[in-house]
Amino acid sequence: MAISTLIGASIKRREDPELITGTGGFVDDLPQTGLVHMYVVRSTEPHARILGIDTARARQADGVLAVFTGKELASEFQSPLPVTVSFVPEKKYPPHYPIATDRVRYVGEPVAIVLAQSRAAAEDAAERLDIRYESLPPVVDMEKAIAPGAPVLHDELGSNLAYDVKRAGGDIEAAFRDADVRISQRIRQQRLIPVAVEPRGVVADYKPFANALTVWSSTQIPHFVKVWLAVILGIPESQVRVVAPDVGGGFGSKIRVYPEEVLAALASRKLGRRVKWIEDRSENMKATHHGRAQIWDVEVAARKDGTVLGVRATQYLDLGAYCSQFGTFQAIALLLIQGPYKLQAWDGRGIGVYTNKTPTDAYRGAGRPEATYIIERVMDLVAQATGVDPAAVRRKNFIRQEEQPFTSLMGLTYDSGDYSTTLDKALEMVSYQQLRKEQAEKRKQGKHVGIGLSTYLEICGLGPSVATTAAAGIGFWGMAVLNLHFTGKATLVIGSSPHGQGHETPFAQIVAETLGLPLEDIDVVHGDTAIGPMGMDTYGSRSASVDGTAVYLSAVKVREKARKIAAHLLEAAEEDVVYENGKAYVKGSPTKAVTIQEITGAAFQPHRLPAGMEGGLDETTFFNPPNFVWPFGAHIAVVEIDDETGRVQIQRYVAVDDCGTRLNPLIVDGQIHGGIAQGIGQALFEDGVYGEDGQLKTGTLVDYLIPTASDLPMFETESLVTPSPTNPLGVKGIGEAGTIASTAAVMNAVADALSPFGVKDIDMPASPQKLWHLMHKNGGSKR
């Protein structure tokens, strides 16, 4: 498309005034009258039989309307919670219902619901429930879980093994045969807790005579929740409306249909009242899914010049107690390990395991940070083993621009990009050669300085309908409805469901640019299943490339119809009419123009339209992209580790990202900043720890350490632009890139700093205590 003024402009987010002044509308803020409050009573046992629940005393408590146990609700569910293909069609999984009936399998699993006139009354009454458990041995460790004789979570599966699959390409035996260097390394991906700023929340309103259900939920996927509430509760889909109002962050943690959405709706149906459930932070830490939770055993075959020939790896994925809706999505890492590099062979094995812990599912990046972490650690391990500089190792292995579109060992086709460009730029920003010299100098002074590179390639833009069937079992697409009103104002309904990203601003920019409408004349609406066709919602950095394209195509269709109407009004041939900046005129006579507002007015008056043309000026687009989009970039972290305390200080953080066309660079930068922060959180701070007793030991924000601004360095960001050929805007995606890149950059820097101690790899998070032990207690100092 033409060089534009609005697309690519750093316009402040139109969402922000409300959010910043505290006048936004989250689920808990919605004006609701006549509410009944639901409290979910959760298992305190990681693994137990429920012998009985005595609800009598709770029912008699002040303000209580009803108490239901899992057994009392079981007959109402016409389907278990959904489980998608998520790259592992071979997996075995048990039906997972919203509430336990006779057995609990993780601390936090719902066992009963209390409905009362206030949340406080419900919590008080919950303490009066008498739940009798017969404890069973908890299964906590993944490897022990699949060892013979381990207690089994789901008797019908016979073991705790959900799947054991192979994903391979190329001749791995030959790669190892030809190798000069062979490296084996176990690499851990600790369990992370997403901690969206707004915990989840639901208000459900069932109207018995209409058999109609409205649910407001803090979700990323209102459209999917609508479909599944209809299926699970047996209500016609046309009678179910789901609204995602302002949503305070998701990071994947609101990507699935949750038990509480079903339970609140069911409670509303049973009581004939509006039911509200708000998750508190204590619940959020254990009832909302976790992420990562993997062990990787990696073997690398390389040449002594730094060429990586092949990688063989096993990914153990801790699914937690049940297979969540996208529980095996993180196995996508098995398809993506290759990254931006030209390997001869990849031999992957994926093993999914059930344990007595909170289920895991998508968390910012969902499998892509893990794939990047593994291959970027591999590049540094090869550098360490061969003595070739880490930047040179990457250059040696990069796929070259002339090889694009490149087809990976797993059959994925990359779209565009010269991966060396972002690396070159980042190296230049840190003055890499100089930096290495300074590092050598500081080492002589006994200082532990490390430099870490991460040159990631990311897949996003779900997606091509055929290909995404492997992800979710159904095809994905982008959706947008652009509807011009009589006065020339526009309503844009989008299929994505933003939860903090700021879709309204760049999507309005696309329409304003394409139609020449004032930006403020375009209202962008989303997250309400009653106001548009099925949308595919928001996850996986898909919205700009897929729904953004649908927005653009709808605007183009409106423009083309407007041009036809203009030709009729101007009594000219259509091909002689020029449309620009919101006006149409006959070529050569720009002074005699009709405005889009005049055209819109005519569109609603049939006598002013060309013969045979239907009235109105609204267009709907379903966009099925021909391929994924593949943003890439290079991040560099420079760290120094305090010899005496083990604390990591990030001295510089440089990020060069190429996400194709940037619709709004301000938003791109915000996504990169937040993403880097979250990735550093994994590298240095966050750890979801369970005790051997199956209890979550990091269930508060005192123990689960999410970094704050004061714990993070300045980020120096730059962008390069390689448009994607996959869509007409040339956009890729940027929502997860920061997280995908930064964990590896920081950990490579930490490992580099500690390489004089003989350290090869460090389990995350790189806590001060751990690093101090590595430097001073692990065979002694090598300085």
Distance of CA 558 to the CA centre of its chain: 32
Asked if 285 contacts 299 with a C-beta cutoff of 8 angstroms, the reply is no
Q: Would you say 688 or 730 has its CB closer to other proteins?
A: 688
Q: Look at residues 766, 749, 750, 737 and name the one whose alpha carbon lies nearest to residue 678.
A: 737
Write out the two tokens for 152: 């089994």
Q: Are strands 308-320 and 345-354 parallel, antiparallel or unpaired?
A: parallel
In a 3-state reduction of DSSP, which class is residue 78? coil
As given in the structure block, the two tokens for residue 740 are 């995908």
CB of 704 to other proteins, least distance (A): 10
Q: Evaluate whether 280 touches 199 at the Cβ level (below 8 Å).
A: yes
Phi, psi of 601 (to 5 degrees): -55, -45
Output the smallest distance, CB 690 to other proteins, in A: 12
> Are 345 and 310 contacting, i.e. CB atoms less than 8 angstroms apart?
yes
Burial class of residue 19 (count of CB atoms within 10 Å of its CB; 0-12, 13-18, 19+): middle
State the burial class of residue 72 (Cβ atoms within 10 Å of its Cβ: 0-12, 13-18, 19+).
Answer: middle
Indicate the Cα dihedral angle 507, 511, 513, 518, nearest 10°: -100
The CB-of-123 to other proteins minimum distance in angstroms stands at 5
Footprint of other proteins (CB under 8 A): 119-120, 123-124, 127, 280-282, 644-645, 647, 685, 687, 689, 697-698, 702-703, 705, 707-708, 710-711, 767-769, 772-773, 777
> DSSP state, 635?
E
Q: Which residues pair with 42 in a beta bridge?
A: 110
Nearer to other proteins, 192 or 603 (CB): 192
**Kind and range of the H or E run holding 186:** strand 181-192
Residues 140 and 356: beta-carbon distance below 8 Å: yes
What is each CA distance from 193 to 290, 359, 599, 619, 744, in whole angstroms? 5, 11, 52, 41, 19
Smallest distance, Å, CB 764 to other proteins? 14
Question: CA-to-CA distance for 250 and 194, rounded, in angstroms?
Answer: 8
Residue 196 CB, nearest distance to other proteins (Å)? 16
Distance CA 752, CA 769 (A): 18
Nearest distance in Å: CB 192, other proteins = 15
The answer to whether 143 and 295 have CB atoms below 8 angstroms apart is yes
Between 118 and 755, whose beta carbon lies closer to other proteins? 118
- Helix, strand, or coil here: 33? coil
Q: How far is the CB of 262 from other proteins (least distance, A)?
A: 23
Assign 745 to helix, strand or coil.
helix
Interacting residues of 780 by C-beta distance below 8 A, sequence separation 6+: none
Angstrom distances, CA of residue 682 to CA of 124, 356, 678, 743 = 37, 22, 7, 6
Determine the 3-state secondary structure of 518 from DSSP: coil
CB 546 within 8 A of CB 731: no
Q: What angle do CA 740, 724, 415 make, to 5 degrees?
A: 75
